[in-house]
Amino acid sequence: MAFQRTLKEEIKITGIALHSGELSQLILHPAPPDTGIVFLYHKNRKIVPIPAIVENVVDTRYAVTLGREGCRISTVEHFLAALCGLGIDNLYVSVNSSELPILDGSAIGFTKRILEAGIERQKELKKVLVLDEPAEVVEGDKHLIFMPSAGLKINYTIDFGRLILNKQTAFFDISEESFLKEICLARTFTFLNEVSYLRKNGLAKGGSLDNAIVLTDDDILNDSLRYRDEFVRHKILDLIGDLYLCGYPVRGHIIAYKSGHSLDVRLVRLLRKFGEVIEDDSQEKSISEKDIISHLIPQSYRPPVNPH
């Protein structure tokens, strides 16, 4: 049987926010069983709780933004992906700004800090969300197909129709080990002309080659990639984070074609509406934090791949 998890101790994570360019700090606090992931927004000596569930999504342009009682927190998807990948069920997250730090553009920064703090196994059984029939959401030529499955499997295809970034496809049977070895290092990416547009509109103020892969029509400006198919792997990372807005880990086989946050959230709303929350009867795999940091996550991330 699998059991719920939280942190062993409080930790702080600080970094620059991608769009505002401001310094952002998270304080992660252990939480009791069945709490879920709850952001605590500090505003004018008042604390506004914002549970990380799809009902609180207020925007999906460029990133996922949660909001409640006039407070907003954006760019939550990489952080939620790290929590999902590590099986963290319960957490209070104090925030001091309206955007989470981007760190290096992947989930590795959040992941390593959580592992260094330690994960606490709780007494209550883990709960998962299941749906016993197929489902689909479509938007133009983009789609997400959900099929019942014993675990979470993702088959993802991107196709930007450009010489430098055309079609990439990847499939992963998502587990703690596969997330750590194959997904959490994949960075966000954008095209140079999009950066100019975003900055003209007051966004991407904190963006740089240190926290994103930047492409032109025929080149990659960064020195190296972490995986040859890092782009599609990052889209899988985004999807994992978005799916965690169900409030529980999802069991299902998901086939994604050219999806994004807007379509992801539509699927999550459907799963929340028609899915069922059950106790997780799967066998829990025990991987020590020391083994994870020493063997699964490369100490210097991963040998770079020359993109050219």
Crossing angle for the helix pair 77-86 and 108-117, nearest 10 degrees?
40
Return all residues near 204 (Cβ < 8 A) that are at least 6 apart. Answer: 18, 19, 190, 195, 198
Global pTM? 0.93
- Give per-residue pLDDT as tens, 277-305: 999 988 776 555 556 555 556 544 444 44
74-83, 243-252, 278-287: segment of lowest average pLDDT: 278-287
Mark whether 261 is an active-site residue: yes
pLDDT for position 71:
95
Contact (CB, 8 A) for 87 and 175: no
Query: Considering only CA atoms, which of 250, 283, 2 is closest in space to residue 123?
Result: 2
- Give per-residue pLDDT as tens, 175-229: 999 999 999 999 999 999 888 778 877 777 888 999 999 999 889 999 999 999 9
Cα atoms in the Cβ-side hemisphere of radius 13 Å centred on 259: 35
pLDDT for position 286:
58
pLDDT for position 290:
59
Q: Tell me which amino acid residue 149 is.
A: S
Q: Which two tokens stand for residue 269?
A: 């709303």
pLDDT for position 94:
98
Return all residues near 150 (Cβ < 8 A) that are at least 6 apart. Answer: 251, 282
End-to-end CA distance of the chain: 46
Residue range 3-289, CATH number? 3.30.1700.10
pLDDT for position 20:
84
Q: Where would I find the H helices in 230-293?
A: 230-243, 261-274, 289-291
- Rounded-to-integer distance, Cα 306 and Cα 308, Å: 6
- Rounded-to-integer distance, Cα 297 and Cα 180, Å: 6
pLDDT for position 302:
45
Q: Which two tokens stand for residue 297?
A: 């996550």
- Give per-residue pLDDT as tens, 156-188: 999 998 888 989 999 999 999 999 999 999 999
- Rounded-to-integer distance, Cα 277 and Cα 271, Å: 10
Instruction: Please state the three-class secondary structure of 137-188 as a single string.
Output: EEECCEEEEEECCCCEEEEEEEECCCCCCCEEEEEEEECHHHHHHHHCCCCC
- What's the average model confidence in pLDDT over 128-138? 98
Residue spans per domain, the chain? 3-289
pLDDT for position 291:
60
Query: Considering only CA atoms, which of 214, 158, 183, 209 is closest in space to residue 302?
Result: 183
Q: Which of 19, 78, 234, 261 is catalytic?
A: 261
- What's the average model confidence in pLDDT over 247-260? 99
Q: Tell me which amino acid residue 26 is.
A: L
Crossing angle for the helix pair 261-274 and 230-243, nearest 10 degrees?
40
- Which DSSP symbol is given to 101? B
Q: Nearest-5° angle of CA 272, CA 275, CA 278?
A: 110
- Give per-residue pLDDT as tens, 8-42: 999 999 999 998 889 999 999 999 999 999 999 99
136 beta partners: 145
73-82, 102-111, 293-302: segment of lowest average pLDDT: 293-302
- Give per-residue pLDDT as tens, 229-247: 999 999 999 999 999 999 9
Pairwise pLDDT comparison (105 vs 45), residue with the higher score: 105
pLDDT at 308 over 50: no
Q: Which two tokens stand for residue 221?
A: 């400006």
- What's the average model confidence in pLDDT over 246-263? 98
Q: Which pairing describes strands 71-74 and 91-95: parallel, antiparallel, or unpaired? A: unpaired
- Rounded-to-integer distance, Cα 240 and Cα 234, Å: 10
